[in-house]
Amino acid sequence: LAKTTQPISMDSYEGQEVNITCSHNNIATNDYITWYQQFPSQGPRFIIQGYKTKVTNEVASLFIPADRKSSTLSLPRVSLSDTAVYYCLVGDGDNAGKSTFGDGTTLTVKP
Amino acid sequence: GAVVSQHPSWVICKSGTSVKIECRSLDFQATTMFWYRQFPKQSLMLMATSNEGSKATYEQGVEKDKFLINHASLTLSTLTVTSAHPEDSSFYICSARDRSGVGYTFGSGTRLTVV
């Protein structure tokens, strides 16, 4: 299962776009990339998943380059409530549940 | 969307007693569920994989006799912390995947405090 590396922390201001990059150099062919958000004392919440190129949903976009060795979660116009820890996980199907949670990125949004 | 219910949300118990935590998939069936432990300011650590109708698979370093996992139905997995000690105090989280959906759904977590 691919190991992931993310920045430990990031700061932003309300209304800005935030991009969090995750490195996963040994991603396997069948692996998907999934991002989760976690607030204190809560379980992680699914944000977005992708395999290649770009994926967009109502809350975020996920950019994946052709070599898939990294991915970037983009949060448009963040608000104070987006302050949380963000994790990227790499894995395939049922095995994705065994993916190792890295340290995650603590995003702090300031007013 | 898929919902995973975890109960209780918090529990305080005395050293030496056992505590059971339930994880239910409310609107889907889950043949596999996962149990994690998270200490303050740390990431989630996978403890075990719960398999419906068979024995759980434990990660290296996790004592299977201390953390008993039962997955008796397609919608319920339980984690029992036996003979709890203060060092078992942690945030325990379960997850499951709805095959018709995307990604994993996590429970809301259980804060265990052993005194």
Three-state SS for chain A is: CCCCECCCEEEEECCCCEEEEEECCCCCCCCEEEEEEECCCCCCEEEEEECCEEEECCCCEEEECCCCCEEEEEECCCCHHHCEEEEEEEECHHHHHHCCCCCCEEEEEEC
Q: With beta carbons less than 8 A apart as the criterion, state whether B44 and A102 touch.
A: no
Shortest Cα distance from A87 to chain B (angstroms)? 9
Q: Could you tell me what percent of chain B has a pLDDT over 90?
A: 83
Give the separation between CA B96 and CA B106, rounded to whole angstroms: 7
CA distance A24 to chain B (A): 17
- Chain A nearest-CA distance from B95, in A, is 8
Quick one: tokens of B82?
A: 């036996």
Is the Cβ–Cβ distance between A94 and A8 less than 8 Å? Answer: no
Q: Inter-chain contact A102–B95, Cβ cutoff 8 Å? A: no
Instruction: Determine the residue of chain A that is closest to B112 in CA distance.
Output: A41
Mean pLDDT of A2-18: 94
C-beta separation of B80 from B88 below 8 A: no
Tell me: pLDDT of B39 over 80: yes
- The pLDDT confidence band at residue B87, using thresholds 50, 70 and 90, is very high
B98-109 average pLDDT score: 86
Using CB atoms, which residue from A49, A96, A103 is nearest to B43? A103
Chain A residues at the B interface, defined by Cβ less than 8 Å, are 34, 36, 41-46, 49, 87, 94, 96-98, 100-104
Residue B70 CA from chain centroid, whole number? 10
Residues A34-91: tens digit of each pLDDT: 999 999 999 999 999 999 999 999 999 999 999 999 999 999 999 999 999 999 999 8
**% of chain B at pLDDT higher than 70:** 100
- pLDDT band for B92, please (50, 70, 90 cuts): very high
Which pLDDT does position B26 carry in this prediction? 94
Provide CB contacts within 8 A for B61, sequence distance 6+. none
Kindly list the residues of chain B whose beta carbon comes within 8 Å of any beta carbon in chain A. 4, 6, 32, 34, 36, 43-46, 49, 91, 93-97, 102-109, 111
Taking every pair of Cα atoms in chain A, the longest distance, rounded to a whole number of angstroms, is: 41
Tokens of A59: 């809350």
Handedness of CA A81, B112, A89, B103 (dihedral sign): negative
In this prediction, residue A93 carries a pLDDT of 67
Q: Name the β-bridge partners of B19.
A: B81
Q: Name the pLDDT band for A92 (thresholds 50, 70, 90).
A: confident
